[in-house]
Structure 1
């Protein structure tokens, strides 16, 4: 089978390897579609926390090819989607209920492949049968939407609150939609007017085109009552300067959600006086948890988020580099790798 392996910055190679054989509790999925992700793009363009070479890709859906001993939830031929992790439920953080911080998250990294081995923990807890009528592309959005669902759950969005989403990539657009569904007045900010048009379609009441030299904070505050600032500011770019801008956008008593992961070793400066006297809450968030994965799958099943809005072009696995570079340019929200 063909499988993509990351060997370093801007170096992804398609290699031939054996089709995996499932062990006890595991399944092997023949992928039908894999979606490009911002994390894949960052990994490709600048490296990631794992030392290469390693597998790449984590948003896929397909058909069960083989099942290991003891598997009862799935059978050969089932249409399935598997999240990329499941917690161990044994470490300190799992016992505290903080499943996104589990120190032993088994991963099925390696979704850019014709076949994929799914670990037993994931098979038991965060893999789902795809119902009739649900497209593979729709199901493959489960992982990114689960991250946005988790992030949204960590901030106190009330009916009628004003929420700004800084960055309208795939996750940012999902934050726009989820905040809208929570009853918020949503402001979307991005450099790309096409993405802002989609943000408006997904529920943003206001959009702000970010231009160099313009005061982005003032533009956002001008859209709030008495220009006091927003109740919730969500950062979804992974740029340290936007972390600082998001902090400055919230009103006294507001909350900032730092979602976008920055480059390793990055630091930011925040106004400590304002932090203290304006009683601002700042929340870092990473990954997701099983309960939010299930919620994301249900939202996709009911059509709250639609893949037609997120997935643009199709590529073969041998053209993965082109798919990632197009994603990196911002010309598309996501691309799909499809398999014969």
Structure 2
């Protein structure tokens, strides 16, 4: 079969590899659609991910497909089932799992290889994080479940509730998902974006106000001016992952508010924060990483209920042979057109 294999920094190759065979408790899934992802782009740029993969390794982790073969002992799924298989599953026995933090599992099992004709799904993911996809849900929509599950957990961890004001810094796929899920939850959303093409996208996905950073001299002051009485947002989501935006986030939140550092900068990155403001402003700082089986199911319900604008996130459709070129292009986005996620169809782009 054909599969995309990451060898290092910006070194992604299509290769012919053996079709994996499912072992006990596993599934072999024929990939019908896989999606590009900001995490995959970050891994492509850096050449590795400390927890998810080390090259050379098959690439991609957002997918949905059809069960091709069932390993011994599997009873919940059968050949021909339409499924979305998440990219990880916790052990549920370690310290973190037993303390309600499955996303921090000491033995978090990851699975990669979505940009391929077939993918083997490990037994633990089959058991804990594989879901049946209704016939009326397109595969590329179902594949949105994984990133959306991370966003759902981030929103839950931030304590967002209807009527709150939230600033979202960044309008990449994750930032846009935060805007949309927050808007669905009745949160008033203010978007802080970089590129002109991101303005319309932010509005499409629920932002009532959009601030383009190049249009103002003081981004923090301009963002706070858009909040009630200029006091700052109840919640600020940082979804860019650079020191400047981490610092902006702290300055944009109100006293008693919550900042969620969702974007993950490289190891060793440092930021400078006003400790006086943090202490006397009673500001909560937190970060959210990954998802849990529960948030995966919440995200899946959003996708299958049609409340989430799945189709609007898919802005490109390509065959498997175009994957290396897609990632090379994502490294050099000009901002001239709105690109969010590209759907990869290993069997060819459907008409």
Deviation at 1:3, TM superposition (A): 1.1
Q: Report the secondary structure of 1:18's partner residue.
A: coil
User: In the alignment, which residue of structure 1 is the partner of 2:65?
Assistant: 62
Deviation at 1:225, TM superposition (A): 2.2
* Structure 1 position 157 matched with structure 2 position 164: no
Deviation at 1:73, TM superposition (A): 1.1
My pick for the range that moved more, 206-215 or 123-132, is 206-215
- Contact 2:34–2:64 (CA under 8 A) maintained in structure 1: yes
Alignment RMSD, CA only? 1.3
User: In the alignment, which residue of structure 2 is the partner of 1:5?
Assistant: 5
- Contact 2:169–2:245 (CA under 8 A) maintained in structure 1: yes
Q: Quick one: which of 182, 188, 191 aligns to 2:191?
A: 188
User: In the alignment, which residue of structure 1 is the partner of 2:256?
Assistant: 253
Aligned length: 340
Could you say if the C-alpha distance between residues 271 and 211 of structure 1 is closer, same or farther in structure 2, counting changes exceeding 3 Å?
A: same
Q: Quick one: which of 325, 328, 334 aligns to 2:341?
A: 334
Deviation at 1:189, TM superposition (A): 1.1
Deviation at 1:213, TM superposition (A): 7.0
Q: What whole-Å deviation, never above 9, does each CA across 1:257-303 have from its counterpart, x for those lacking one?
A: 00011012111111101110000000111001000000000000011
Deviation at 1:159, TM superposition (A): 2.4
My pick for the range that moved more, 221-230 or 194-203, is 194-203
User: In the alignment, which residue of structure 2 is the partner of 1:232?
Assistant: 235
Q: Quick one: which of 200, 204, 212 aligns to 1:201?
A: 204
Q: Report the secondary structure of 1:186's partner residue.
A: strand
Q: What whole-Å deviation, never above 9, does each CA across 1:124-173 have from its counterpart, x for those lacking one?
A: 11111110110001100000000000000001223221100000111111
Q: Report the secondary structure of 1:153's partner residue.
A: helix
- Contact 2:216–2:222 (CA under 8 A) maintained in structure 1: no
Q: Quick one: which of 282, 291, 294 aligns to 2:294?
A: 291
d(CA) in 1 for partners of 2:60 and 2:54? 15
User: In the alignment, which residue of structure 1 is the partner of 2:47?
Assistant: 47
My pick for the range that moved more, 34-43 or 320-329, is 320-329
- Contact 2:161–2:186 (CA under 8 A) maintained in structure 1: yes
Q: What whole-Å deviation, never above 9, does each CA across 1:220-270 have from its counterpart, x for those lacking one?
A: 111112211111000011112101101110011011000011012111111
d(CA) in 2 for partners of 1:295 and 1:159? 17
* Structure 1 position 176 matched with structure 2 position 179: yes
d(CA) in 1 for partners of 2:215 and 2:59? 34
Gaps of 5+ in 1: none
- Contact 1:138–1:300 (CA under 8 A) maintained in structure 2: yes
My pick for the range that moved more, 39-48 or 94-103, is 39-48
Scaled by the length of structure 1, the TM-score of the pair is 0.97
* Structure 1 position 322 matched with structure 2 position 329: no
Deviation at 1:307, TM superposition (A): 2.4
- Contact 1:315–1:338 (CA under 8 A) maintained in structure 2: yes
My pick for the range that moved more, 22-31 or 157-166, is 157-166
Q: Report the secondary structure of 2:342's partner residue.
A: strand
* Structure 1 position 83 matched with structure 2 position 86: yes
My pick for the range that moved more, 210-219 or 200-209, is 210-219
My pick for the range that moved more, 40-49 or 281-290, is 40-49
- Contact 2:5–2:56 (CA under 8 A) maintained in structure 1: yes
Q: What whole-Å deviation, never above 9, does each CA across 1:105-136 have from its counterpart, x for those lacking one?
A: 12221111110000111111111111011000
User: In the alignment, which residue of structure 1 is the partner of 2:131?
Assistant: 128
d(CA) in 1 for partners of 2:112 and 2:93? 22
